[in-house]
Amino acid sequence: MSVTDVTFAGSIPALYEKYLGPLLFEPYAEDLAARLAAIAPEKVLETAAGTGIVTRAMDKALPPSVTIVATDLNPAMLDLAAKRLNSPRVTWRQADAQNLPFEDATFDAVACQFGVMFFPDKIAAHREVRRVLKPGGVFVFTVWDRLDANPVSKAVADAIAGLLPDNPPRFVERVPFGYSDPDRIRGDMGEAGFEDIKIEAVEKVTYAPSPQDLATGLCQGTPLRNELEARAPGRLDEITEKTAEALAARFGSSAIENRMRAIVVTARR
């Protein structure tokens, strides 16, 4: 995994929040927050908090007495998150999920939505979560299921590969959809010391207002943008437009139904 695979900087955070938040992440954020509410923790750690989409969902779903520490590796994402949510029970902190700056047995629950895929050493990150959890504490995280089960994202990946056939970007396959094997996940969690590991596929449906919005979000609001700019300098807008045209040809030129499938993993320390 390259540095550019995990870099959310420049205009990426704002585009990510605007175009991809409602389309991809908010439905699963509500799901994750509801799972945490059922656990009834007193102190929650969130890793890979991004622009705070899950943090805001937890702030709404959890009782006022619950404290939340939301962390992310990228300062630009946290800066935007802090602007979107001003809550006295939320603390924002830059942190590497593979080397958490917290004492052992600090939290009742740890949450991570669509972040584990970005961790270069996933087992090390899982071990860190287990270390900072109290005995009996719960780790809940969400990752994307395989790319074929997410047709809109698959269509974008295919369109971009067709536009740059000599050196196609593989960020989508390599990172966001690169940790979808339940057997691998279960093995990694077990190696990190977790028990009572439950893995569940969860399907959601959203609607993109237009192919252009969808293409803009995925091409310019994720680290895929870094790969596109490196492979095709000066062509980002052109590639985004042609990706939108490919989406329109397949799904229609107005609102697009986005059927998604993710994997939710729950495990205890």
Tens-place pLDDT, residues 214-266: 999 999 999 899 999 999 999 999 999 999 999 999 999 889 999 999 999 99
For residue 263, the domain's CATH number is 3.40.50.150
Question: How confident is the prediction along the chain (269 residues), in pLDDT tens digits per residue?
Answer: 555 545 566 788 889 899 999 999 999 999 999 999 999 999 999 999 999 999 999 999 999 999 999 999 999 999 999 999 999 999 999 999 999 999 999 999 999 999 999 999 999 999 999 999 999 999 999 999 999 999 999 999 999 999 999 999 999 999 999 999 999 999 999 999 998 999 999 999 999 999 999 999 999 999 899 999 999 999 999 999 999 999 999 999 889 999 999 999 999 99
Element (H, E) at 153: helix 151-163
The CA–CA distances, whole Å, from 132 to 88, 98, 99, 216, 226 equal 22, 12, 11, 38, 33
Closest CA to 116 of 87, 141, 149: 141
DSSP string, 3-14: GGGG---TTHHH
**Domain span holding position 177:** 3-268
Asked if 151 contacts 255 with a C-beta cutoff of 8 angstroms, the reply is: no
Residue range 66-85, pLDDT digits in tens: 999 999 999 999 999 999 99
What pLDDT is recorded for position 5? Answer: 46
Give how many domains the chain has, as a whole number: 1
